[in-house]
Amino acid sequence: MRIFHPSLGLAMALSLAAPILAHADEAPGDPAAVKQDEDGIWRDKAGDPTFKVEADGSVDWETYSGFRRYHSECHVCHGPDGEGSSYAPALKNSLKTIPYAEFYGIVVSGRKDFMNGNDKVMPTFAENKNVMCYLNDIYVYLRARSQDSIPRGRPAQHAAKPPGFDAAQEKCMNAS
C-alpha cells in the first residue's frame, strides 16, 4: 500500500505498530534499490522503502516528495535536510541505525526519553495526515540523506509522479 490510511485512529495505529516494533533491533541494511513495486515505490532487498538516485543525480518521486513533506512538517524540530537542531536530533544520523520499522513506530507512537535532565519528547503523528499520508516518502528522503546519496537542498531533478499517486493521496487526505 502506497499511503497510510489515517482514519484508523490512534488506537488502531498503535496496535499496528506493536508488531513492527518487535523487529526494531534489526539494522537498516543495505539501502540499494532492487525492485520497484506496482505503486512505483523502490524497495531494498528486505522490502523496505528506499531511494533511487540516477547517475545524473535525478531522484525517484518518493525521495522528492519526502523532501517536500519533511520540510513541511519535520524540519522545524529536526532541522533542514535532517541535519538536526538544538531541539531535536539529526535524523540524517539516526537513520544510519534506525530501521524502517522503528522509524515508523516512533512517528506513529511518539517517544519520550527522560535521561539525566536531558528530556526529549517526540509527539505522536498518528492523526496528522500531512505526515502519515507521506510517511514512506519522508523515510525514503531521510534514508537517502543518511547515506549521503543526495546533497542538502531541494533535489534538482526527479522522476515523474507515479500513476495512481494522486488518487492515493486524495483518498488518504480526505479520509475521515
Give the pLDDT of residue 19: 42
Give the pLDDT of residue 25: 52
Helix-then-strand count for the chain, H and E: 8, 4
Distance CA 71, CA 64 (A): 11
CB 107 within 8 A of CB 131: yes
Give the pLDDT of residue 136: 95
pTM of the model: 0.82
Give the pLDDT of residue 130: 94
Confidence of residue 1 (pLDDT cuts 50, 70, 90): very low
Higher-scoring residue by pLDDT: 162, 18: 162
Residue 22 in 3-state DSSP?
A: coil
Higher-scoring residue by pLDDT: 36, 18: 36
Q: CA of 98: how far to CAs of 28, 58, 109, 158, in Å? A: 6, 25, 15, 26
Residue 120 in 3-state DSSP?
A: strand
